[in-house]
Amino acid sequence: MNINTTKVISLLFFIFSAFYLYTAYQIQVFAFDENAPFNARTFPIYLGYAGLFFSGLKLILPDPYTIKVQHKTLEYKKTVILIIIAIIYGATILKVGYFLATSLFLFSSYYFLGERRWVLMFILSFPFVAAFMYLLHGVLDIYLRDPFLQSIGVMG
């Protein structure tokens, strides 16, 4: 059997399905439901077996369409930085507020992706977010929680 990354993913999915199946069997059901033809754990149990079946097949059958990814050509650094910025954005959005957190997220993302046109970067972050907020909050009446803008009296 030729080991490639697709097979490794299939193996991981097989292990995940086994864990899912084990957890499905642990689901607590009501005593009167225990022997019913269908209860809260029936469908997940079928899914667990289906996961084992399909990933098992993928593992043992030869793969006529092998995918080869050239890892050297992939841009891991920028992708990881972008993910980290997104996580920081997620962590700060509630405390700092939508406007500031989003504007800073956009500005820093442009910067780390290699952009250096400062004026355009600024326009497409702070004023852009303000306009978008106005569209959502002011025009479409979609509530946006922003403690920062509330504290300075811009938002009601």
Partner 1 sequence: MIEGILIGLTTALTLQNILMVMLGCFFGTIIGMLPGLGPMTAIALMIPITYGFDPATGLILMAGVYYGAVFGGSTSSILLNAPGVPGTVATSFDGYPMAQQGKAGKALAIAAWSSFAGGTLSAIYLLFMAPSLSKVSLSFRSPDYFALMILGLTAIAAFSSKGQFLKAMMMVVLGLMLASVGQDSLSDITRFTFNNMNLTDGISFVLVVMATFAMSEALTIILKRNDPTSAAKQVSLTELGSIKINKEERTKMYKTIPRSSVIGFLIGVLPGAGATIASFLAYGMERNIVNDEEKEKFGKGSVNGLSAPETANNAACSGSFVPMLTLGIPGSGTTAVMLGALLGFGVQPGPRLYMTNPEIFWSIIMSMYIGMVILLILNLPLIPYIARILAVPKNYLIPLILFFSITGIYVMSFNNFDIYLMIGIAVVATFLRLYDFPMPPLILAFVLGGLMEENLRRSLLLSNGSWEFLWDRALTACILATTILIIIWHIYKTLKKIN
How far apart CA 33 and CA 69 sit, in angstroms, is 49
Site for partner 1 in 119-138 (CB under 8 A): 120, 124, 132, 136
Q: Does 110 bind partner 1 (CB under 8 A)?
A: yes
Per the CB < 8 A criterion, the answer to whether 130 and 81 are in contact is no
Contact residue for partner 1 among 3, 34, 76, 119 (CB under 8 A):
76
Helix, strand, or coil (residue 68) = coil
How far apart CA 156 and CA 4 sit, in angstroms, is 57
Per the CB < 8 A criterion, the answer to whether 24 and 47 are in contact is yes
Contact residue for partner 1 among 25, 75, 151, 152 (CB under 8 A):
75
Q: Identify which of residues 79 and 150 has a Cβ nearer to partner 1 in the complex.
A: 79
Contact residue for partner 1 among 1, 34, 72, 73 (CB under 8 A):
73
Q: Does 152 bind partner 1 (CB under 8 A)?
A: no
Q: Which two tokens stand for residue 152?
A: 């300075």
Q: Does 17 bind partner 1 (CB under 8 A)?
A: yes
Q: Does 1 bind partner 1 (CB under 8 A)?
A: no
Contact residue for partner 1 among 15, 69, 131, 152 (CB under 8 A):
69
Q: Identify which of residues 61 and 152 has a Cβ nearer to partner 1 in the complex.
A: 61
Helix, strand, or coil (residue 156) = coil
Q: Does 89 bind partner 1 (CB under 8 A)?
A: yes
State the amino acid at position 153 in one-letter form. G
Mask 28-67, x = binds partner 1 (CB under 8 A)? xxx--x--xxxxxxxxx--x--xx--xx-xx--xx-xx-x
How far apart CA 53 and CA 10 sit, in angstroms, is 11
How far apart CA 113 and CA 71 sit, in angstroms, is 19
Q: Does 150 bind partner 1 (CB under 8 A)?
A: no
